[in-house]
Amino acid sequence: MNKNKPYWNIWTWPNAITIGRLVLGIFGALHALGIINVGNIFVPLFASSSDFFAQYNVAIGGIMITVAIAGDALDGYVARKTNSISRFGEFVDPLVDKLLFWIAVGVILAVQTTFPSIVFLLFAGLMLIGVLLYDIWSLNHHFKNSGGAVSSGKTKSFLLNLSLLACFINLVLHDAMPDSTNIFVMYGGFFVAALLVLRAIPYLYTSWASRSKEDASG
């Protein structure tokens, strides 16, 4: 195949969107953790923006990460509409999706205060480690075979977004509502852990099915 064709082109709009999503997610994480204050960007226009962004750093950082994750559908849509699908994009898009997921989980683990860390790690930590190990295997396996995402990627993305949204709602509402009326505060840890387990099921099933198929063919 001619490497001058769009399929091998790195500099495309979809790839720019994908890299932009990763940058947005990283800045969102740094802001949520209080390492940087993105409000300083708007200080020349709005003098009080820095204080506002610092006061709601977790909520704003969470929104930035959520937007970065939700943008997964945008780069693929632009690639199909402009016929600019590339080998680089097929590799980097699922990689960025996985990086954003673990960035979000890392932020949540760092800033969560609504449930005991030991309980969360007991119900979700081991499962997350399992998903991470499978992510590494899946990325390597599917890149070698097709360079693209797996067929069940949309289902996985839906469960991923649902679990992360629940995490961020849990964090934001913890400070905004009294414990007696906020189910996310009272049972947030167990709810989020359950969603993360559901998030892992498609990975584990796909891994089991793939390995069973390979064993049968071998």
> Is the same domain home to 124 and 105?
no
Would the CA dihedral through 40, 42, 45, 47 be positive or negative?
A: negative
> Is the same domain home to 94 and 144?
no
Q: Residue 73: what pLDDT?
A: 75
| Chosen domain end from 48, 78, 111 | 111
Residue 2 confidence (pLDDT) above 50? no
> Is the same domain home to 126 and 80?
no
| Chosen domain end from 65, 85, 111 | 111
Write out pLDDT tens, residues 154-213: 555 555 566 666 666 666 665 555 555 555 555 555 655 665 666 556 555 655 655 556
**What average pLDDT is seen over the chain?**
68
Residue 23 confidence (pLDDT) above 90? yes
Write out pLDDT tens, residues 48-59: 778 888 888 878
| Chosen domain end from 91, 111, 131 | 111
